[in-house]
Amino acid sequence: MASAAIPAKPTNYLTNGFTIKSWLLTTDHKRIAILYLISITLFFFLGGFFAMLIRLELLTPQGDLLHADTYNKVFTMHGMIMVFFFLVPVVPAVLGNFLVPLMIGAKDLAFPRINLLSWYLYVGGGLLFLHCMLNGGVDTGWTFYTPFSTLTNTNFIEAGLAIFLAGFSSIFTGLNFIVTIHRMRAPGLTWSRLPLFIWAHYATSLVMILGTPVIAITIVLVAVERLFHLGIFDPKLGGDPLLFQHLFWFYSHPAVYIMILPSMGIMSELITAFSHKRIFGYKFVALSSIAIAVFGFLVWAHHMFVTGMSLYAAMVFSFLSFLVGVPSAIKVFNWTATLYRGSITYATPMLYAFGFIGLFTIGGLTGLFLATLGIDVHVTDTYFVVAHFHYIMVGGQVMGFLGGMHFWWPKISGRMYPEGWAKLSALLVFVGFNLTFFPQFILGYMGMPRRYWQYPPEFQVLNVLSTAGASILAVGYLLPMVYFAWSLRYGPIAEANPWNAAGLEWKTASPPPTFNFDETPVVTWEAYNYDEIEPKELEAPVER
């Protein structure tokens, strides 16, 4: 255990080597997680900068801030960065990489060097994307539908190659997790004793390795068509534009489950820790993750209901899309039920968890609107869809990630973050988020289409509200950057288990030594064995 008073501090993974080489050539999953944290955060703020440009432009009905072509590039970059360079990797590559070996009592992942390779692929893809941006960017939208993407004179191939590399980063991470979880669990750690964070990452990894190759080949085909004028997707050359959409969505729909399952895993950890009791319905929550991953592969064409596809196929996809909503609902109910007769505290991670439950519920319910054929015809391709997916991805995944970062920050850094500032940021994020995106549901039903640079004046009021919310949200995101950095130097030193939480990661020092555990743990208890752990005293005495 690290303590400021002891003169000879034992080394932990952070102090085990201070050279740049020891970081850039590390195979320690914890250091790789930090490398990812830094690079992903940079991309998040880049994507956020583009979001700010979008919201500023949309303050007025006219296109008066940017040229139309620039605006099109801005929303394309925003989408590509946020999807491929932020949302897909953030939880698995940061928290997953850090915690999966710790949670299962292992020294590292199954393939540490492939883990490092994954990071370099991510960075390579990221640099290529930056280069593409500096060379004029891409204007296809993140969904790069054909034939627009085969015809545009912007540099799609470079962006596509960047996404291809990031995709392989994703595949190798998923491969690593699956093998690790299968083969490297500590003695006694059976599948039914695994933390739900592990189950969630296992399910996510299944989707990563099965789905990502399909978008890889889709990008190759678009590139080949652009380079050699082969008619695969362009009807003028004999191709079929809808084939592209099927291939694209076959990955991109499961991808959205990559972008939510990990945070659902975080949720199970936070709710149990801060109610200080085991999860309600462990088996159901674990199997729901797998069900979401599997069913997620069967619903892709619900993005294509107005393309002129077969009426009967549309009905099948609509039905399946409702089915895939059931496991998510089960999770929400189980988390809520876990609160019952718990002993609840309101530290920042728990506030983010509450926020997640609320916002994910709204996002998930609005997904049902889109699965409903008669409504989808009206609201697809409008701001209704934009609002829906931001509720899930930002209100869900990002809130979960922030909650997880706060929860595991003492373990990762050995310091506590300032609770007051953290609670304020959580509140700003929640308020800012809702103000940004709720008006967009209304805008969508009113008929404002997506990707519009200018719009009829009657849509202005709601757009102004949305931009106002975005400015509050931005502050909520910037504050943690400041206080997390501050805490590295001035934050109180953290104990091994500052939350009195269950889980193997809390049984080792904060920060952990390079090889995680002094001795391999032997597990004889069920997951979330909170009945065997004392709840922490309240931080301040209760006033009576």
Partner 1 sequence: MSKFLPLWPDRASTIAGQVDALYIYLVLVSAVMTLLIFVAVAVLAIKYRRRPGVLPHPIEGSPILEIGWSVIPFGVMLTFFIWGAVIYFKERTPPTSSTEVYVVAKQWMWKIEHMEGQREINELHVPVGQNVKLVMTSQDVIHSFFIPAFRLKQDVVPGRYNTLWFKATSPGVYHLFCAEYCGTSHSGMIGNVVVMSPQDYSQWMSGGPSVPLPEAGKQLFNSLGCATCHRFDVQGRGPNLQGAFGKPVLLEDGRTVVADDNYVRESILNPTAKIVAGFKPVMPTFQGLVTDEQLNALVAYVKSLAQQPAGGAQNQAAASTAGQPQTKQVQ
Partner 2 sequence: MEQQKNTASLGMWLFLVTEIMFFGGLFCAYLIYRLMYFPAFGAASQTLDIKLGAFNTAVLLISSVTVVLSVRAAQDGNRKQLVTYLVLTVLLGLTFLGVKAIEYKEKFETHHVPGPTFHFDKPFDDNGKEIPVDPQHAQLFFSLYFAMTGMHALHMIIGCGLFTVLTVLAWKGHYTPGYYTPIENAGLYWHLVDIIWIYLFPLLYLISRHS
CB of 375 to partner 1, least distance (A): 6
Establish if 213 lies at the interface with partner 2 (CB under 8 A).
yes
Does 284 sit near partner 1 (CB under 8 A)? yes
* 503-532 binders of partner 1 (CB under 8 A): 530-531
Q: In sequence order, which residues have a C-beta less than 8 Å from that of residue 254 and are 6 or more positions away?
A: 207, 210, 211, 293, 296, 297, 300
Residue 381 contacts residue 326 (beta carbons within 8 Å): no
Cβ proximity of 247 and 300 under 8 Å: no
Q: How far is the CB of 380 from partner 2 (least distance, A)?
A: 24
Interacting stretch for partner 1, rule CB under 8 A, among 140-148, 189-197, 388-396, 478-486? 140-148
Q: Is 535 in the site for partner 1 (CB under 8 A)?
A: yes
Smallest gap from Cβ 174 to partner 2, in A, equals 8
Q: Which of 220, 313, 478, 488 binds partner 2 (CB under 8 A)?
A: 220
Q: What residues from 438 to 497 belong to the interface with partner 1 (CB under 8 A)?
A: 442, 445-447, 449-456, 458, 461-462
**CA pair distance 97, 484, nearest whole angstrom:** 20
User: How far is it, in rounded angstroms, from Cα 398 to Cα 409?
Assistant: 16
Rule CB under 8 A: is residue 121 a binding residue for partner 2? no
Q: Is 237 in the site for partner 2 (CB under 8 A)?
A: yes
Residues from 173 through 212 that contact partner 1 (CB under 8 A): none
From 132, 118, 121, select the one nearest 160 (Cα to Cα).
132
Binder of partner 2 out of 94, 102, 189, 216 (CB under 8 A) = 216
CA distance 488 to 485: 5
Distances (CA, A) of 324 to 195, 228, 264: 23, 40, 15
Contact 371, 329 (CB under 8 A): no
Residues that bind partner 2 (rule: CB under 8 A) add up to a total of 35
Asked whether the beta carbons of 527 and 334 are under 8 A apart, the reply is no
Report in angstroms how near the CB of residue 171 gets to partner 2 at its nearest. Answer: 5
CB atoms within 10 A of CB 376: 21
Which residues in the 170-199 window bind partner 2 by CB under 8 A? 171, 175-176, 178-179, 182-184
Residue type, position 176, single letter: N
378 in contact with partner 1 (CB under 8 A): yes
The least CB distance from residue 250 to partner 2, in Å, is 8
Closest CA to 140 of 77, 227, 230, 68: 77
**203 touches partner 2 by CB under 8 A:** no
96-135 binders of partner 1 (CB under 8 A): none
- Site string (382-421) toward partner 1, x via CB under 8 A: x---------------------------------------
Phi/psi for 449 (5° steps) reads -75, 165
Query: What's the rounded Cα separation, in Å, for the pair 268 and 286?
Result: 10
Nearest to 103 by CA among 528, 498, 488, 532: 528
Please name every residue paired with 493 in a beta bridge, in sequence order, or none if there are none: 415
Selected binder of partner 2 within 3, 190, 228, 540 (CB under 8 A): 228
Among residues 23, 49, 63, 423, the one that binds partner 1 under rule CB under 8 A: 63
Task: Output the DSSP codes for 43-61.
Answer: HHHHHHHHHHHHHHHTTSS
The item of partner 2, partner 1, none sharing an interface with residue 229, based on CB under 5 to 8 Å by kind, is: partner 2
Q: How many residues in the shown chain lie near partner 1 by CB under 8 A?
A: 95
Q: How far is the CB of 464 from partner 1 (least distance, A)?
A: 12
Residues that bind partner 2 (CB under 8 A): 110-111, 114, 171, 175-176, 178-179, 182-184, 209-214, 216-218, 220-221, 224, 228-232, 237-240, 243, 247, 250
